């Protein structure tokens, strides 16, 4: 078996939706997690909503007060039945209890209402922060992670947080207040009975901790499996034409079934373990009630307490166990939310593109004079893709990059645009290193037309304005006419307002390329990058695209990556690249005269040999 080769260098622009490179996120469940740190960090996103938290606390306090006073009055009723002089008190209690329980219900309703709004607002902000952070991540991040899995984190994981966070917040607040109040009331009524009521608490925490340690791990595995399933779905939908062309439906169905089965197993394990907690807590709670009833009976026979106090303690024991049971159930659900939270935080903790240096300036009026000075670069520390590159491009020149696949041509333009930064040497633009300029202003100086043109869902007009939103519709129409794309736009149902589907699958590759060239013209860049822009179209369309590109390149520094050498014979300068080094350089005539690699490649293509 041959040794595994390193992955090819990623293309600039939009990466393939499913890069199968190793993903450290897929092994994230193997790393120990800090539960307290995750919870505190999540709660920190409630900053600015302290008023809401105060309201939640107040409503929880109101509901807890009603829950605490009710059992006390019930005990008073029982004791009052044996004392005739207690009839006025009984009347008051019977009138007061409905008001008390109505207040309890109202407090719970408004508490849930407030929490729902607060948790949804928090998750909305978290989702927006995550999406914004994704925009700041370098291209290499998207080149090495499955897009469907990232989409799962942005949608499924954030939704999971929203679904559980409000419930957990209400339960946690209620538990703290209720347990504190119940404990105070029980100690006030009978310290001895309080001791018997609390004997089951250590057992409760022991059981819940042992079960929770398992559920959290399984819920995390479930979320990871769900991300893989979404990645598979996204990949297959995007590549459906290829799947059908190769008759690979059966293979993909089997692959989907395998991933789906993994998700079923992970989900089953998570639900089974989370299902253990409530039955276990009910057993412990019932044991606690039995202990309270038995101890209370003994004390009542001895005359230490009344029957009413026994009834009150049984009610308090239930109230003491009920929030713990609820919290145990919520805690298991909270494990799922925290697993999702950690997955979201993992992306937020990814380092963005290197910050501009403190004295970086905006690039204004770029001329397009570019020089490589002893540049070396590799996508990983083991393999260098570019080795000791030195060349200079004068402003307004057309430079062609040719050579075999994997030679490093695309890597060069990745470095020029600072999608990646060089390992050694430096790249100069208009006499200054690229790092001298802010990254955003630098990239605004570039216009890119890729082999795989990407158009967004939206109107044709919106897509053409993408690089320069302020251009008028008249300017758009003029650019389209200049490129020659206005005719087919006019034939569309709504013309420029025709809505394109995802990546414009209804258009031919040539039509998309012409739209991309029009978009680049409207962006009015100083430097152009044309990456195999005509490699996947027919000869007639290629001629149209070449004519449009000729218009686009006028007065601009242009990098042209091409396998069809006849498309670059008029370039001012041609670099022949192989294995990361410049083998030959010059114009078409001088390179043909040298009789080297360029001459061999050109003659082979002329004879129809690929």
Whether pLDDT at 19 is above 80: no
DSSP class of 146: B
How far, in Å, CA of 122 to CA of 88, rounded? Answer: 51
* CB 55 within 8 Å of CB 113: no
Q: How far apart are CA 460 and CA 449, in angstroms?
A: 16
- When pLDDT is averaged across residues 561-567 and rounded to a whole number, the result is 79
Give the model confidence (pLDDT) of 299-354 as tens digits.
777 777 777 777 777 777 777 666 666 666 666 667 777 778 888 888 888 888 77
3-state secondary structure of 427: strand
Confidence label for 128 from pLDDT (cuts 50, 70 and 90):
confident
Identify the H or E element spanning 577.
strand 573-578
d(CA 376, CA 387): 5
pLDDT band at 90; cut points 50, 70, 90: low
| Beta bridge pairs of residue 464 | none
Sheet (strand 581-586) strand order: 446-449, 527-531, 557-561, 398-402, 573-578, 581-586
pLDDT band at 74 (very low <50, low <70, confident <90, very high): low
Computed over every residue of the chain, the mean pLDDT equals 76
pLDDT tens sequence across 523-556? 888 888 887 766 555 666 667 667 777 777 777 8
Q: Which residue has the higher pLDDT, 601 or 57?
A: 601
The share of the chain scoring above pLDDT 90, in percent, equals 1
User: pLDDT of 155-202, one tens digit each?
Assistant: 778 877 876 666 666 667 777 777 777 777 778 777 887 777 777 777
Q: What is the pLDDT of residues 247-283, one digit of tens each?
A: 777 887 888 888 888 888 888 887 777 777 667 777 7
What pLDDT, on a 0 to 100 scale, did the predictor assign at position 167? 66
Specify whether the CB–CB gap between 194 and 187 falls below 8 A: yes
Task: Determine how β-strand 432-433 pairs with β-strand 581-586.
Answer: unpaired
Average pLDDT, integer, range 599-610:
75
What average pLDDT does this structure show over 416-426?
89
- Phi, psi values for residue 542, rounded to 5°: -60, -40
Cα 263 to Cα 276: distance, rounded to the nearest angstrom? 20
pLDDT on residue 386: 87
What's the pTM?
0.66
User: Angle between the 307-348 and 201-238 helix axes, to the nearest 10 degrees?
Assistant: 30
Q: What is the DSSP letter of 153?
A: I
Helix 87-136 with 307-348: angle, nearest 10 deg: 10
Q: Which of 382, 454, 380 is nearest to 411 (CA)?
A: 380
Question: Hey, is 375 helix, strand or coil?
Answer: strand
């Amino acid at each position: 078996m041959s040794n595994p080769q390193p992955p090819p260098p990623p293309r600039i622009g939009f990466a393939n939706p499913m890069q199968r490179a190793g993903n450290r996120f897929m092994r994230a469940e193997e790393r120990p997690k800090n539960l307290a740190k995750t919870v505190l960090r999540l709660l920190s996103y409630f900053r600015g909503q302290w008023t809401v938290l105060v309201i939640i606390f107040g409503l929880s306090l109101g509901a807890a007060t009603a829950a605490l006073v009710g059992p006390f009055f019930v005990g008073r009723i029982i004791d009052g039945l044996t004392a005739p002089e207690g009839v006025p008190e009984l009347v008051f209690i019977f009138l007061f209890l409905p008001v008390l329980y109505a207040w309890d219900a109202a407090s719970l309703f408004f508490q849930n209402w407030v929490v729902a709004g607060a948790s949804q607002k928090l998750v909305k902000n978290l989702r927006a922060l995550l999406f914004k952070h994704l925009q700041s991540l370098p291209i290499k991040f998207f080149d090495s992670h499955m897009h469907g899995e990232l989409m799962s984190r942005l949608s499924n994981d954030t939704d999971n947080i929203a679904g559980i966070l409000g419930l957990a917040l209400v339960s946690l607040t209620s538990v703290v207040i209720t347990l504190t109040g119940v404990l105070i009331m029980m100690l006030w009524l009978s310290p001895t009975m309080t001791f018997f009521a609390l004997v089951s608490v250590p057992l409760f925490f022991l059981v819940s901790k042992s079960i929770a340690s398992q559920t959290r791990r399984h819920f995390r595995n479930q979320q990871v499996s769900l991300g893989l399933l979404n990645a598979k779905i996204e990949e297959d939908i995007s590549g459906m034409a290829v799947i059908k062309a190769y008759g690979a439906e059966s293979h993909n169905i089997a692959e989907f079934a395998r991933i789906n089965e993994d998700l079923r197993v992970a989900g089953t394990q998570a639900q089974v373990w989370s299902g253990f907690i409530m039955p276990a807590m009910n057993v412990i709670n019932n044991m606690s009630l039995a202990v309270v009833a038995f101890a209370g009976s003994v004390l009542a026979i001895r005359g230490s307490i009344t029957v009413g106090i026994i009834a009150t303690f049984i009610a308090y024991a239930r109230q003491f166990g009920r929030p713990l049971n609820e919290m145990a159930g919520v805690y298991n659900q909270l494990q799922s939310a925290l697993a999702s939270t950690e997955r979201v935080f993992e992306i937020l903790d990814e380092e963005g593109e290197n910050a501009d240096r403190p004295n970086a300036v905006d690039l204004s009026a770029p001329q397009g004079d570019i020089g490589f000075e002893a540049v070396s670069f590799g996508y990983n520390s083991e393999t260098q893709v570019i080795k000791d590159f030195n060349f200079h491009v004068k402003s307004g020149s057309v430079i062609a990059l040719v050579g075999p696949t994997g030679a490093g041509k695309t890597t060069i333009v990745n470095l020029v645009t600072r999608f990646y930064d060089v390992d050694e040497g430096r790249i100069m633009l208009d006499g200054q290193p690229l790092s001298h300029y802010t990254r955003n202003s630098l990239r605004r100086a570039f216009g890119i037309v890729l082999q795989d043109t990407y158009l967004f869902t939206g109107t044709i007009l919106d897509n053409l304005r993408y690089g320069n939103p302020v251009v008028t519709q008249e300017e758009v129409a003029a650019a389209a006419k200049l490129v020659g794309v206005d005719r087919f736009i006019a034939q569309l149902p709504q013309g420029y307002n025709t809505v394109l589907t995802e990546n414009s699958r209804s258009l031919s590759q040539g039509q998309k390329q012409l739209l991309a060239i029009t978009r680049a013209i409207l962006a009015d860049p100083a430097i152009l990058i044309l990456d195999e822009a005509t490699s996947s179209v027919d000869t007639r369309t290629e001629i149209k695209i070449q004519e449009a590109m000729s218009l686009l390149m006028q007065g601009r520094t242009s990098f042209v990556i091409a396998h069809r050498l006849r498309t670059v014979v008029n370039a001012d300068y041609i670099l022949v690249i192989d294995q990361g080094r410049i083998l030959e350089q010059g114009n078409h005539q001088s390179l043909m005269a040298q009789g080297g690699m360029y001459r061999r490649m050109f003659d082979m293509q002329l004879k129809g040999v690929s």
